[in-house]
């Protein structure tokens, strides 16, 4: 057993939760870009309730494609 970075003890072959949760590189920026694209497309389509529209589009994978004119 080794001392964990979170203050407890963990087996040597396991990593700390803090290390596993690290996100490096351009992933956060990429996810923000996709999120902003989705919200912008919904606003251009005249959506007033973004949260409801995101839930509705998540239920059917064809809706976001139709919204972007890709079907």
Report how far Cα 17 is from the mean position of its chain's Cα atoms.
19
64 confidence band (pLDDT: 50, 70, 90): confident
Report the distance separating Cα 17 and Cα 15, nearest Å: 6
pTM: 0.59
* Interval 7-62: pLDDT, tens: 555 555 455 555 555 666 788 888 899 899 999 999 999 999 999 999 999 999 89
Q: What is the pLDDT of residue 19?
A: 58
71 confidence band (pLDDT: 50, 70, 90): confident
Task: Please state whether 20 falls in left (phi above 0), alpha (psi between -120 and 50) or beta.
Answer: alpha
């Amino acid at each position: 057993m080794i001392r964990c970075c979170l203050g407890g003890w963990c087996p040597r072959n396991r990593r700390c939760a803090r290390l596993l949760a690290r996100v490096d590189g351009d992933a956060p920026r990429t996810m923000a870009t996709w999120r902003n694209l989705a919200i912008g497309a919904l606003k251009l389509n005249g959506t007033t309730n973004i949260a409801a529209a995101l839930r509705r589009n998540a239920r059917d994978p064809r809706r976001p494609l139709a919204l972007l004119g890709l079907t």
